[in-house]
Structures are given as C-alpha cells and as structure tokens.
Amino acid sequence: MKLYNYFRSSASFRVRIALELKGLAYEYLPVHLVKGEHKQPHYAAVSPSLLVPTLVTDSGEALGQSMAIIEYLDEVHPQPPLLPTDALGRARVRALAQLIACEIHPLNNLRVLKYLVKELKVEEEAKNGWYRHWVRTGLEAFERELAQLPPGTYCWGDTPTLADCCLVPQIFNGQRFNVDFSGLPRTMAAFDACMRHPAFQKAQPSSCPDNEG
Amino acid sequence: MKLYNYFRSSASFRVRIALELKGLAYEYLPVHLVKGEHKQPHYAAVSPSLLVPTLVTDSGEALGQSMAIIEYLDEVHPQPPLLPTDALGRARVRALAQLIACEIHPLNNLRVLKYLVKELKVEEEAKNGWYRHWVRTGLEAFERELAQLPPGTYCWGDTPTLADCCLVPQIFNGQRFNVDFSGLPRTMAAFDACMRHPAFQKAQPSSCPDNEG
C-alpha cells in the first residue's frame, strides 16, 4: 500500500494511526500542502478532489477521505478491530469520530484559514480566535458526549478505535494554536492513553519523513 | 423511533431520507435552531453536543451525527441497503458522503455563518461569497470524483445510497444561496434522479411539519 499524505495534515495523521494500529506496512509519499503540491496535475490524477490523504491499495485503487479509508482498512484487515462489534457501539464510535471530523476540523484546516486571511481580510488575532473557538467548543461537546459513555481507557472501551484516530490529531492541531484543554478530563485521559501507545507515537508528525519540526 | 430535527437542517434531512428509503415510521420532533431550542436544557439532556439530528431508538438510545445514524439504520434495518456489499464500494460511497459532510457542509451551517457576521463582522455580500465558494468548489471536487466512477442513475449505481442522502440536502442548501450548479452533469443527474424518488420527496423540508415555507 501507498499513502499520499502530509506530516501536519490531521486527516493524514488519522490514517497513519490506523495503519500503525493494524501493523500494516506502507510506502509514505509526501504531498506538501503549503507548497500546493496537492493541486499539481500528478496528484490530481491520484485524487480528483485534490485532498490528502489518499490510500492506494495493492491492487491500485486510490481511496480518499480519512474516515472512509479507516473503515476500509478495518473491513479488509479486521485485526485489531477499530470499531466495536455491535451496531450501537459502532454508532457511538462513528459519532465521536464525526464530532471531530465534521464539526471541528473542517473549520480549521489550511484552506479555510487562508480564505479568512486572503479573502475576508481577517486579522491574525481574529483568525486565531476563530481557530480556538471551534476547537474549544467542539471539544467541550466531545467531552459532554464522552461523559455519557461507560468509562474506559480510550474514547470507547479499552482498545483504540476510529474515535481515537480522530481525537489525537485534533489535539495535536490545537496544541499548535495554544487551545485551552482544561476541564476536559475524559478527552485528555483518552489522548494521554493514546500517546502511551506505540502506534500513535509512530504515526505522529515528528516521526514522519517529511517532518519539518 | 423518534427523530429530533429541524426542517431546514441538512444533517436532519439526510436522516429523514434514509428513514423514508427504508420505509421506517418515526415520530417527528422539531427543534427550532434559529430560536436556539437546541441549546435548551430539555434538548441538552437528549443531545449533549447540542446538535440536530438525534435519533432515539425504540429502546431509548439517543444517537447523534447523521452519517453515523444512517449507518446504524442500515445495519439494524438492512433493506434496502444504503451501502454497497463490497468493501471497495463502501469506501467509495462513504468518501462521497464525507466529501459533502466533512468538506462542504461544516463551513456553511448556521452557527458558522453567525460567527462570520457577529464575531468577524463580515458583510452580507462577503458572507454569501464565502458560502458559495465552499459549496461550488466542494461540488466541483465531488463532480470530478463521480466522473471517475462507473456510470449509474444515482451517485453510486442504480439505487440510492448514503452518498445521495448527503448530496440532496447540500443541493437544496445551495439553491437557497443561488449557488451556480452549471458544469456538474453527474452530480445534478444524481440529484434529479433522487428528486423523482418518493422517499426524497417525502423527506424534503417543504414536507416537514415544522416547515415555514
């Protein structure tokens, strides 16, 4: 398998975690988002939507969208599972993942921050305020959802799931913008547990070949 | 089952379509987003993340996040299926759904537009420009992805899937803001096919009991 991705992309990071959790080897193909490499013709041929990550399977199928890729990996390489075995548990884990991937992250990615500055002429401080607002209010919602669930080491139970694959990159991302993580005990306990797990360590931006520090 | 939702919410509309496609009866419980009813304590007890829709199952479980709800419905009530039977097909359909639910819709929902106006003091015209920019560029990406797939009546094949559940509300939403839909032949053909299907007709905002026209 090959993974087109960028060390700092949260969506890329999610897939790297899943690959490491499953112990799947892959070729790392960097796509430099800040330099606009995702918009170049050679990448457009791989990803018509011009987004990272793209997983290319051994049979040459190019797959986009991080949560869809992770579910695919979970179906084709079921061990260890990244989703619970029951429909209700799967609904809970998918909802946690989507609470990050649909409610927080889309507001804070590079192209959105660029539009705020270039098109809407938003000042640096207001842009950072926007960033922190969505991460903070999103994580507060995430915490309230976690507080309703049975206690566990990770977001759901005692093994990492799709929800943890999404949570950890979001926390990394927030750390870069000095988001306040206080008052989020379940969320940060899950994050800390993940960061003690070697798969999450291996997948993190500082472990990537294109890492710029 | 009960569905807490709002006639104009795209995420609510997605779930209503899935319920209609499966022929599942449900109690319609309106939550008026513009009046802030989703932030009231009685709704916070149902949805700690204060988001619509919430599906409450017959056993009383409250489920959030529209794509997670639809996958749950598809697992518990498998006929007619809303996802393909093979892992690759499921990955394609989920990616199309997420291209809308993670890349377009989050930038255009009510709370984001409110933040632009109230906090960032963005003028009406620039706000509408923001809206149209993300819908248009997102749908262009969606069209390029569809163009790579085998031809079919709907987004994927000849029966509606999760991807169509997400596409149709996004087009409705874009119509309200006069988005340009030209040059999107596969996308709009799938939309038109959906709108000839009674399930999509029954689920649309104008068919809802809380519809304000």
Q: What is the mean pLDDT of residues B9-18?
A: 98
**Residue ranges of E strands in chain B:** 2-5, 27-30, 54-56, 62-64
B2-80+201-207 CATH: 3.40.30.10
What is the H or E stretch that residue B107 is in?
Answer: none
- The pLDDT-based confidence of A186 (bands split at 50, 70, 90) is very high
Residue B18 confidence (pLDDT) above 80: yes
Q: Which residue of B has its CA nearest to A117?
A: B120
Closest CB to A72: pick one of B87, B98, B116: B87
Q: Which residue of B has its CA nearest to A109?
A: B103
Q: What is the mean pLDDT of residues A107-130?
A: 95
Top CATH class of A87-200 equals mainly alpha
Domain ranges of chain A: 2-80+202-207, 87-200
How close B181 gets to chain A, by Cα (Å)? Answer: 17
Place of tokens 């915490």: A143
Q: What is the mean pLDDT of residues A7-27?
A: 98
Q: Which pLDDT tens digit goes with each residue over A132-141?
A: 999 999 999 9
Residue B6 confidence (pLDDT) above 80: yes
| pLDDT given at position A88 | 98
* Cα gap A166→A145, rounded to integer Å: 15
Chain mean position to CA A28 = 17
ipTM exceeds 0.90: yes
Contact B107 A112 (CB under 8 A): yes
Superfamily of domain A2-80+202-207: Glutaredoxin (3.40.30.10)
* Cα gap B38→B30, rounded to integer Å: 10
Residue B213 confidence (pLDDT) above 90: no
Contact B72 A88 (CB under 8 A): yes
Question: For an interface test with A, which of B39, B74, B98 has the most A Cβ atoms less than 10 Å from its Cβ?
Answer: B98
Alpha helices per DSSP H over A102-206:
110-118, 124-147, 162-176, 185-195, 198-203
Average pLDDT over chain B, rounded to an integer: 97
How close A138 gets to chain B, by Cα (Å)? Answer: 8
Q: Which pLDDT tens digit goes with each residue over A74-95?
A: 999 999 999 999 999 999 999 9
Average pLDDT over chain A, rounded to an integer: 97
| pLDDT given at position A130 | 97
Q: Which pLDDT tens digit goes with each residue over B160-179?
A: 999 999 999 999 999 999 99
Q: What is the mean pLDDT of residues B124-145?
A: 97
Contact B91 A105 (CB under 8 A): no
Q: What is the mean pLDDT of residues B130-151?
A: 97
Question: For an interface test with B, which of A63, A94, A105, A142 has the most B Cβ atoms less than 10 Å from its Cβ?
Answer: A94
A182-198 burial code (b ≥16 CB/10 A, e <16): eebebbbbbbebbeebe
Contact B64 A106 (CB under 8 A): no
Residue of A165 and B110 predicted with greater confidence: A165
Are B71 and B81 in contact, with CB atoms under 8 Å apart? no
CA quadruple A43, A49, A53, A56: dihedral sign: negative
Place of tokens 């547990």: A193
Name chain A contacts of B99, Cβ cutoff 8 Å. Answer: 49, 64-65
| pLDDT given at position A213 | 72
Closest CB to A95: pick one of B65, B103, B119: B65
* Cα gap B22→A213, rounded to integer Å: 50
Name chain A contacts of B147, Cβ cutoff 8 Å. Answer: 48
Q: What is the mean pLDDT of residues B32-59?
A: 96
Q: In what order do the strands lie in the sheet with B27-30?
A: B27-30, B2-5, B54-56, B62-64
Architecture of the B87-197 domain: Up-down Bundle (1.20)
